[in-house]
Structure 1
Amino acid sequence: MQPSSHPFTRDLVLVGGGHSHALVLRSWGMKPLPGARLTLINPGPTAAYSGMLPGHIAGHYTRDALEIDLVRLARFAGARLILGAAEGIDLSRGEVHVAARPPIAFDLASIDIGITTAMPEIPGFAENAIPAKPLERFAAAWQSFLRTSGPASVAMIGGGVAGAELILAMGHALSQAERPAKLHLIERDTVLTALPDRSAKRLRAALERAGVTLHEGADVRAITPDGVTLDGYEIEADFVCGAAGARPHPWLAETGLAQQHGYLSIDTQLRTSDPRIFAAGDCAHMPFAPRPKAGVYAVRQAPVLAQNLRVALREAGTMKRYQPQKDYLKLVSMGEKTALGDRFGLSFSGPWVWRWKDRIDRKFMSKLKDLPQMALPALPDPRAAGAADLGDKVLCGGCGAKLGQGALMAALCEGPSNLPGDDAALIRIGGAELVFSTDHLREITADPVTMTRIAAQHALGDIWAMGGQPRAVLTSLVLPRMSPRLASRTLDEIMTTARAIMRAAGAEVVGGHTSQGAELTIGFTIAGTCERRAISLAGARPGDALILTKPLGSGVLMAGEMAGLARGEDVAAALQRMVQSQAQASTLLKDAHAMTDVTGFGLLGHLRNICLNSNVGAEITLEAVPLMHGAVELARQGIRSSLYPDNRAPFPDLADSALHDLLIDPQTSGGLLAAVPGDGTEPLAALHGAGYEAARIGIVTEGAGQIRIV
């Protein structure tokens, strides 16, 4: 996110990454409203486009083709993205509640969370079946089932258009996999009643050709590990899915907002009964023009929603009215690359209809994938010599924004040895051995809670690397320019999170300092004790095994995210690794001869520090080094962190390849690198048991400062 040139004064929170909100994000990125801080809350980094789901299930589209990358959209819109499921709204306090984090305050909010087809009232559904919505979970479960082998039996509960589309898609996928299949479509009443008779007959014929057995007028009594229990008989099924009984998410009923059967009632301006809260998509009910649930309405609501949110934030202007069309073009996939079309009483089908549907779907997705490149401000002219040489690449956040090791050594090392110091300062006071360290990070994610978690674990890493125990913490915060009210909200999120993390680590936040500046920066100064011997950079011995507790790649992934090139799922996974504590890993590596944490100087830079201080060399097995998903692909595209040139300088002979580049990639809140006695089998097994993605990446050798990569 680029620093805002205007102080934030109002908080707009989008709850859910549905189709309406995705289009609002795109619109906002092209024309942001100065002074408004935009936040998106969604359970995951992507949202599936419902129109292409049957095609994906049938095997016509990859998973990427139907996924809306909310990480990229949020970056484009300048929005902070909070990955978590909303579970409540407190109207009196103006807060959205998300599990495991402080509440998110809002001045204005919009809800677009879709619906669910979960059927908790059916015994055994939660344990033995999968709802078709949310789409992401269903798509993942189906792909997992499709990868199994042998004959298959699939049961779809719900004989509406969605159920028919999906069972046909499943049948096609299984036939392509050459797996004999029994297909069942179960409906309490009559199947396909939402379609006109002519179209319903066409779709029934397609079901018959696909060998789908219809169970009409059938009540589901239970779902067991073996299949579905109906009135008086059972259906054997390996995969059971629910596409019936679409219903709102249960927490909406507790909001206090006006509802219709659990759906949020909205007016023609898309506002709920609380004028601060808007709603769109399937979670909303339009009393002024009731319509069935369909994605076409969410898409058409988006420009009206975007305009009205701007008007409400400005407290000036005229809101638009939304009037849904009376009928819309229904395009229904039929398993193979053929489709059924229905509108204005006309019914038509064939491969040409599928091609038409495919063009419409791809055009919609291209709006959200092929985001326009917004021009950067031109450099002033005239300007000082050398200004253009710095380039227009945005400075990385996290450890990628650090100064290079050469500049730091020149400024800080006064002794004749000129050796890099340990991760934390070791001081003896009154017979006690204390460790001190300080670290701060420029923001790499606009979510202050996630940023606090990363900065805290990053700072704690220096203490863990010394084998210490943190005791007292000082905070140092720079908040972006914003109104006192928003600053108070942000500070509360940060400090609530910081206190929880530090207490879990055994320390207390005892004070600190705040200021306002261009962007969010979070730092911690930590004092700790060493109950056992402190583990320093010196002490590694030839023959020691080198163990790394986290995979590499956070620098290039976050640089890729800033450039809009990294996959949202890869970025989310990287953030999860950055917030992982190294406390238990430090304990499991207590017998290490030398240890450090891998941060800004990259794996080779920090390993070089061990080698120089211990007067040893090292051998790294390139294929053994664990890497974050997506990092190699980005490195091959030439994506580099800002610190990359400085990190490469000490290794002029390093091979020019993506894998070698990642060895010098600056890591934010990286793993511990330990030289342990023996072959490292025992501590490595213990680390794996504790949930660390640790690996034995090489050995310590003779030859001071010499690092060999094999």
Structure 2
Amino acid sequence: MNIPPAHTDLLLIGGGHSHCLALRMLAMQPIPGVRITLVSSDPTSAYSGMLPGLIAGHYAPAETQVDLYRLCLATGARFVHASVTSLAADQHTVQLSDGSTLGYDWLSLDVGATPDLSPIGDSHPQVLAVKPVATFWQRWQQWRNHADKHHLAVVGGGAGGTEMVLAMAEYCRQQQRPVTFSLLTGGTLLPGYGAAVQARMRRHLQRYNIQLQEHTRVTRADNAETLLANDQPLPADGIVWCTGVRGIPVVANSSLACEAQGFVKVDAQLRSLSHPRVFATGDCAAFPSPLPKAGVYAVRQAGVLAHNLRAAITEAPLKPYRPQRHFLSLLSTGDKQAVASRTGLPALSGKFVWRWKDRIDRRFMDKFGIDLPTMSATPSAPSSQAMPLHCAGCGAKVGSQALSDALADLQPHLNAGIHAGVDTADDAAVIDWPAGQRLVQSLDHFPAFVDEPYRFGRIAALHSLSDLYAMNARPHSALANITVNWHHPKLQGRDLQRLMAGAVRELNRAGCTLVGGHTTEGPQMAAGFTVNGSAPAGVLWHKRGAQPDDVIILTKPLGSGVQLAAMMHGNALRSPWLAATLDSLLLSNGPACDAMGSLPVHACTDITGFGLLGHLHEICQQSDVSMTLDTDKIPLLPGTLTLIQEGIASTLSDTNRQILMHCQARERVSEALKTALCDPQTSGGLVFCLPAAMSEHAQQQLAQNGVKSAVIGKVLVKNRHGDADIFLQ
């Protein structure tokens, strides 16, 4: 993917309402020379306005979630799927849960809040907190399936708690589950709402036989698990906590100025009071005049945030955020009814209010669906920061300072016998090779298919190492060949550091020493590694050697080519499917190689660019055998067949499908499945051919090493009477 040159990094942490909307706005009018990166611990962002409807069963999860991968792809932003573990605002860096460091020039926080469980000792096994909203649906699904839940109590009598208890009651009514509910609040029901709204919502609570307990304080008994309601035992099988929040620890423990509850102190322009290059919005911000933690404010803050980020970076005047004094509040009542409230207007209720609310919510979500904007052409950087013309040849090398900064903190694993590597300034690596060992060498290099350098570096290293594992060789050393984008040297250094940190992480895990490499700059990030492995000649695996009656074992699901093609198609992408794919690409084949190293493997290969059928055909040709595959047993990545049926395919798909001339398929094998079997794989699994008597033991060995595997077929005597080498059953 070609990335426009940039000189400034804008980092958005959190996929809240403000950031999602601000990304759309910034995409339609990009900031010259600015690269935007969104960091989120989840690939989707839940829209809180539709959460009660989701819990009640009125919406499917996908209807209520913003797909952050798709949003970033459409708006030209980078997406980093990780959580932030520490924030060093003075150094302009954040530490991520994957162990990497991410630098920035400007930062915006929209990370929400965490539940304040201090009244019950900060945690309790019976308590399910609604915050963070992004993960509540998954946690609720797990929690609700316990058959022992007969009495649920919701703590919090505000809008969120009232809507939630009604939604849960509606779900249990639909499922005919005999669950009783109570709603507990420290004050009165729906404080801040008019008497007419309160009265209507009370009637809906009564309709579901929900017991309302006002002026009730929930605490924890001293030195006990028992929860108390006004100092009396709370008779509930489970408690849903929907009241009280505080700032997330990562922010509260940073050097940013925060108030007592850990929320970032900001001025009227949404700017940190202590760090002028940091902005905060939504629930994580503490405004000059305190605001309720409500999504309606976060949505209105998005426009001001987008304007002020652009203004701050380009040194233009900022504008203040002025909270709306009056807004429409639409409260869902469990079933498809709702109550409307707005200052100065009479309360309205009924099914038509639900339809009104539903239209508003769906219109909001449409902003992140088919109506996503196409990113405008990035304007040129101001003349004072214009990017230079780029040389070719040796002039295309990354600058020495950016290179040295990027490599300074790397700590590559060191194998014996390496006399010159990245820790020296020599022109080439010097290696002593062990006597009696064969040198097994391979080279892989490809352009980045994700614009996140750390993840791409890990995948590129694993993909290269896979060729060694496919031959039962132990990784020894590696040379890197890296291309970074035409950016300012500062940004190049950040990208190179992250890419190499990811690569070295996987090389170190494999016991493989990075001994050197070459770096260039260009229009597209790319990476490759020349890897060296060692093994005695007698233990090497080859593609030749498969024997009739061998079983065929595959260690990873297929479909990465289709999934990555969907990412390039924009709106075909589904974040949960893509996240599962990227997780699969990060699974090393090393544990599979270790598990099978002592077994009589007759043939082995890794599944890469030619797809499963292409690589199996190579084994057939080299071993002079045929094969039969049980297509029902072949694992696929989630959504692969759906995407193929929607017309998504890798650019290599048509070429790879030519292998079907050497295959014979029963009618039940669909064209979509045939395409999946031909799909080119990045960092794919290993396929083994070994005696059938060893099949169960091999799968046990693989499972002990944490490797999922499937027996997908068997080897046959060579078919001498036709063109088919592979039979699809």
State the TM-score, normalized to the length of structure 2: 0.86
Aligned pairs for 1:324-339 within 5 A: 324-339=323-338
AA of the residue aligned to 1:708 = F
The one-character-per-residue Cα deviations of 1:82-121 (angstroms, maximum 9, x if unpaired) are 1111122212210122122321100011000111225255
Distance 2:338 2:305 in 1: 31
What do residues 676-709 of structure 1 show as CA deviations (whole Å, max 9, x unaligned)? 2125111113323433231111011111671111
1:57 aligned to which of 39, 55, 58: 55
Whole-Å Cα distance in 1 between the matches of residues 375 and 705 of structure 2?
A: 47
**Structure 1's 269 and 688: CA in aligned 2 closer, same or farther, altered over 3 A?**
same
Question: 3-state SS of the aligned residue for 1:260?
Answer: coil
Alpha-carbon deviations, 1:614-661, whole Å to 9, x = none? Answer: 111111111110000011100111101011111112323766611111
Distance (Å, rounded) in 2 between the aligned partners of 1:127 and 1:441: 48
Judged with a 3 Å threshold, the aligned counterparts in structure 2 of structure 1 residues 693 and 290 are, in CA distance, closer, same or farther, namely same
| Residues 1:480 and 2:485 are matched in the alignment | yes
What SS does the aligned partner of 1:113 have?
coil
Distance 1:665 1:555 in 2: 6
SS of equivalent residue, structure 1 residue 20: helix
Q: Show the 5 A alignment for 1:419-568.
A: 430-531=435-536, 533-564=539-570, 565-568=572-575
Asked if the contact 2:71/2:372 (under 8 Å) is kept, the reply is no
Structure 2 match to 1:252? 251
1:563 deviates by 0.7
2:675 matched to which residue of 1? 661
Match in the other structure for 2:364: 364
The residue number in structure 1 matching 2:654 is: 645
| In 1: Cα distance, 2:220 partner to 2:631 partner | 53
Task: State the AA in 1 paired with 2:657.
Answer: R
- Between stretches 109-118 and 256-265, larger displacement belongs to 256-265
Q: Secondary structure of the equivalent of 1:652?
A: helix
AA of the residue aligned to 2:445 = H
Please name the residue that 2:419 is paired with. Answer: none
SS of equivalent residue, structure 2 residue 115? coil
Aligned length: 657
Q: Please report how far the alpha carbon of residue 255 of structure 1 lies from its aligned counterpart in structure 2 after TM superposition.
A: 2.1
Q: In terms of mean alpha carbon deviation, does 671-680 or 65-74 score higher?
A: 671-680
Distance 1:497 1:611 in 2: 36
1:415 maps to none
Provide, for residues 501-522 of structure 1, a one-character-per-residue CA deviation record: whole Å limited to 9, x for no partner. Answer: 2111111111000000111101
Deviation track 1:296-343 (CA, whole Å, cap 9, x = no partner) reads 11111112211221222333x332322111121111111111111111
Distance 1:543 1:550 in 2: 22
Q: Does 1:75 align with 2:73?
A: yes
Moved more, 568-577 or 258-267: 258-267
Contact 1:227 1:238 (C-alpha < 8 Å) held by counterparts: no
Structure 1 window deviating more from structure 2 (252-261 vs 349-358): it is 252-261
Q: Is the Cα contact below 8 Å between 1:128 and 1:225 reproduced in 2?
A: no
Q: Does 1:708 align with 2:715?
A: no
CA drift of 1:147 comes to 4.6
Which of 619, 623, 626 matches 2:635?
A: 626
Q: Is the 8 A contact 1:552 1:626 kept in 2?
A: yes
Relative to structure 1, is the Cα distance of residues 154 and 375 closer, same or farther in structure 2, using a 3 angstrom cutoff?
A: closer
Give the aligned residue type for 1:244: T
Aligned to 1:671: 685
CA distance in 2, matches of 1:136, 1:113: 10
Counterpart of 2:12 in structure 1 is 14
CA offset at residue 253 of structure 1?
1.5
The answer for the alignment partner of 2:199 in structure 1 is 201
What residue number does 2:709 align with?
694
Distance in 2, Cα, partners of 1:562 & 1:429? 45
The match for 1:348 is: 348
Match of 1:600 in 2: 609
Q: Distance in 1 between matches of 2:464 and 2:71?
A: 30
- 2:283 aligned partner, one-letter code: D
One-letter code of the match for 2:671? S
Which residue number in structure 2 is paired with residue 392 of structure 1?
none
2:188 alignment partner, SS class: coil
Indicate how the Cα distance of structure 1 residues 542 and 142 shifts in structure 2: closer, same or farther if over 3 A, else same.
same
Q: Deviations over 1:20-69 (max 9, x none)?
A: 11112222333333421110000010010000000111111111110110
Secondary structure at the counterpart of residue 698 of structure 1: strand
Given that 1:227 and 1:236 are in contact with CA atoms closer than 8 Å, whether structure 2 keeps it comes out as: no
**Mapped partners of 1:162, 1:651: distance in 2:** 56
Percent identity, please: 38
Counterpart-to-counterpart distance in 1, 2:526 and 2:102: 20
- Equivalence for 1:588: 595
| Deviation string, structure 1 residues 416-471 (Cα, Å, up to 9, x no partner) | xxxxxxxxxxxx98532121111122111111011011111111111111111101
Answering whether residue 300 of structure 2 is matched by residue 286 of structure 1, we say: no
Q: 1:424 maps to what in 2?
A: none
3-state SS of the aligned residue for 2:374? Answer: coil
One of 196, 209, 222 as aligned partner of 2:220: 222
Q: Distance in 2 between matches of 1:675 and 1:501?
A: 27
- What's the counterpart of residue 423 of structure 1? none
Mapped to 2, the partners of 1:130 and 1:146 lie a distance apart of 10
* DSSP-derived class of the 1:545 partner: strand
Kindly state the Cα deviation for residue 197 of structure 1 after the two structures are TM-superposed. 2.7
Cα offsets for 1:334-380 (capped at 9, x unmatched): 11111111111432221111111111100000011123463999xxx
Q: Which residue number in structure 2 is paired with residue 416 of structure 1?
A: none
Deviations 1:124-182 (A, max 9, x none): 83433221011132211223344555873211122222111100100011001111111
Q: Secondary structure at the match of 1:272?
A: coil
Name the aligned partner's letter for residue 275 of structure 1: P
Greater shift in the superposed pair: 12-21 or 693-702: 693-702
CA distance, structure 1, for counterparts of residue 374 and residue 56 of structure 2: 37
State the SS of the aligned residue for 1:446: coil
Q: Which amino acid aligns with 1:248?
A: G
Structure 1 stretch displaced more, 428-437 or 215-224:
215-224
C-alpha separation in 2, matches of 1:553 and 1:505: 25
Determine the structure 1 residue equivalent to 2:300.
Answer: 300
User: 2: distance between equivalents of 1:121 and 1:146?
Assistant: 24
Contact 2:87 2:93 in 1 (8 A): yes
- TM-score, normalised to structure 1, is 0.89
Distance in 1 (CA, whole Å) between partners of 2:540 and 2:124 is 50
Report the counterpart of residue 386 of structure 1 in structure 2.
Answer: none
